[in-house]
Amino acid sequence: MLMIKRGSKKRGQVWLETIIYTLIAFVLIGLVLGYGLPKIKCMQDRAILDQSTEMLKQIDLTILDMSVAGNQRTPEITIKKGDLKLDCVNNKIIFESETASDCSYTEPGRNISSGNVIQLTQKKTGVNLVTLTLDYSSRYNLKFKGDKIPKVLTKASNPYNLIILNEGVDANGKIILNMSLN
């Protein structure tokens, strides 16, 4: 009988050690995920915003290259997160996206220029709102399908083909850019 008790104590100890090691492993995995996932999400948001800034710079280069009336270009626009607003009323192209509250793309509350793209991070409840803006109000007259209406392009699995047509100069001396989607 003495041997049976010793054997059961050893088996009980093995089970207890297994449970303790498993709990320690779960706690370590939880700590890594609790710290690592927000950092990964922040890096993903930053990568998307970098790509969006480059997309706006490419649109800007396309527009600046269209100096002759009748010129037409079709840049391909990929939106993975956020909204691209063609604000024809104010002659601006604006990209907006939300990021996690602990992830700031630029210094909150300050306009930062990256080429012709103006970057602004605003702190909101629980998130940051990042706005990337191309302001053409001094040089261009933007239209969408011939009208001064706003158009919002949202996240999509397929890229947008934005058609930009230079229609010459208006009465105020601004170049008319008429945009549409293909």
Domain of residue 60, residue span: 47-181
At residue 132's C-alpha, the angle toward residues 139 and 77, to 5°, is: 85
Burial of residue 130 (CB within 10 Å: 0-12, 13-18, 19+) is buried
Q: Answer yes or no: is 150 within a domain.
A: yes
Q: Answer yes or no: is 167 within a domain.
A: yes
In three-state secondary structure terms, 39 is helix
Are the C-beta atoms of residues 137 and 90 closer than 8 Å to each other? yes
Q: Answer yes or no: is 132 within a domain.
A: yes
Which residues have CB under 8 Å from 19's CB, separation 6+?
Answer: none
What is the residue-level pLDDT of the chain in tens, covering all 182 positions?
444 455 556 777 888 899 999 999 999 999 988 888 888 888 999 999 999 999 999 999 999 998 899 999 999 999 999 999 999 999 999 999 998 777 888 888 899 999 999 999 999 888 899 999 999 999 999 999 999 999 999 999 999 999 999 999 999 999 999 999 98
pTM of the model: 0.80
pLDDT of residue 126: 84
Q: Answer yes or no: is 41 within a domain.
A: no
Give the tokens for residue 100: 């996690």
The total of structural domains in the chain comes to 1
Q: Answer yes or no: is 160 within a domain.
A: yes
pLDDT of residue 5: 54
In three-state secondary structure terms, 177 is strand
Facing residues of 163 across strands?
Answer: 180
Q: What is the DSSP letter of 79?
A: -
Q: Answer yes or no: is 6 within a domain.
A: no
Q: Answer yes or no: is 92 within a domain.
A: yes
Q: Answer yes or no: is 161 within a domain.
A: yes
pLDDT of residue 2: 44
pLDDT of residue 9: 64
* DSSP H or E stretch at residue 95: strand 92-100
